[in-house]
Amino acid sequence: MLTDLYNEIDAPELKGKDIVLPEDSTLYLSERGELFAFTGIYKKDIKRDVLFESWPYYLVGKHTKNIDKYMNGLFRIKKGCILISAFLDHEIYADKKYKKLTDYYIKLPVAND
């Protein structure tokens, strides 16, 4: 089902090893139909800051292997669960192809008032 969407999306195919951290939370779809929804970063500092819906501006445009000293991982939503995961440029995902989903966004539940 998602592999059909992958084939229909008019976006360039990118190898995982060529993808860098974008400016904000982003969705990527793999050629195998796996959705990658990254929302934020779990920082590796004294306070262990949790930035669930963002990452610092100075990490944008960098490969995660070059900024490993700053983070424990990225927050990824997968099948309704929040995971700490490696990014697409990590060796596990590096040779697979992805398309960035620009017309889709992540909408998280919020508290009711």
Question: pLDDT tens, 2-40?
Answer: 888 899 999 999 999 999 999 887 899 999 999 999 998
In the prediction, which pLDDT does 62 show?
92
Facing residues of 35 across strands?
29
In whole angstroms, how far apart are CA 87 and each of 4, 19, 54, 59, 107? Answer: 23, 9, 14, 13, 20
Residue with tokens 């697409």: 88
Q: Looking at residue 107, what is its pLDDT?
A: 80
41 found inside a domain: yes
Do residues 9 and 29 touch, judged by C-beta distance below 8 A? yes
Structure confidence by residue, pLDDT tens digits, 43-88:
887 676 678 888 888 889 999 888 888 888 899 999 889 999 999 9
- 76 assigned to some structural domain: yes
What does the pLDDT read at residue 96?
94
Q: How many C-beta atoms surround the C-beta of residue 9 within 10 A?
A: 16
110 in any annotated domain: no
Whether 37 is covered by a domain: the verdict is yes
Full domain range(s) for residue 66: 2-101
pLDDT value of residue 33: 92
Q: How many domains does the chain have?
A: 1
Q: Provide the whole-model pTM.
A: 0.84
Query: Considering the domain boundaries, does residue 109 fall inside one?
Result: no
Please give the Cα distance from 96 to 100 (Å, whole number): 13
The string of pLDDT tens digits covering residues 87-102 is: 999 988 999 999 999 8
Entry field: residues in the chain? 113
> Is the CB of residue 93 less than 8 Å from the CB of residue 19?
no
The per-residue pLDDT for 77 is: 92
Q: What is the DSSP string of 20-86?
A: ---SS-EEEEETTS-EEEEEEEEE-STT--EETT---GGGTT--GGGSGGGEEEEEEEETTEEEEE-
pLDDT attached to residue 46: 61
